[in-house]
Amino acid sequence: MATWLIKSEPSKYSWEQLRADRRTHWDGVRNPSARNNLKEMKVGDLCLFYHSSEGLSIVGIARVVKEAYPDPTAGDDRWVMVDVAPVKALRRAVSLAALKSDRRTREMEMVRQGRLSVSRVTDAEMRAVLELGETRL
């Protein structure tokens, strides 16, 4: 099972909103690398949920409940979306500053490539995030 990290500006779509909705379409991705990651997601894969712009922290864990299919908010068929559902909040949010200062996470794809909205997380990185977030699955 793979782990991913998905970003959202909380003013656009927050973790709290995902919890309220119970499930959502992860649409609007318009970056080729991010799109390729969406296409590789499998049902059951976990996604760290990161608040960009405000908060700047990983706040929760979601899971993929439907694999990539066409994103109707795009004008053409190049773009896809997945469906995700909340699993649990992190007991303690893990800030970008914390990710950058911990040697286990400072090489994470999302840290190295700041603009990438859907990135891959290694098993070791996931273990470190769970520890920093004082959270057990």
Partner DNA sequence: GCCAACGTTGGC
Min dist. Cβ of residue 37 to DNA (A): 12
Considering the complex, state which of residue 58 and residue 68 has its C-beta at the smaller distance from DNA: 58
Min dist. Cβ of residue 106 to DNA (A): 11
Q: Which residues bind DNA (CB under 7 A)?
A: 7, 9, 30-33, 50, 52-53, 56, 96-97, 100, 113-115, 117
Min dist. Cβ of residue 62 to DNA (A): 16
Considering the complex, state which of residue 39 and residue 44 has its C-beta at the smaller distance from DNA: 39
Considering the complex, state which of residue 76 and residue 137 has its C-beta at the smaller distance from DNA: 76
Considering the complex, state which of residue 43 and residue 112 has its C-beta at the smaller distance from DNA: 112
Antiparallel, parallel or unpaired: β 24-26 and 80-95: antiparallel
Min dist. Cβ of residue 59 to DNA (A): 13
Q: What is the DSSP string of the chain?
A: --EEEEEE-TTTS-HHHHHHHS-EEE-----HHHHHHHHH--TT-EEEEEETTTT-EEEEEEEEEEEEEE-TTSSSTT-EEEEEEEEEEEEEEEEHHHHHHSTTTTT-HHHHSTT-SEEEE-HHHHHHHHHHTT---
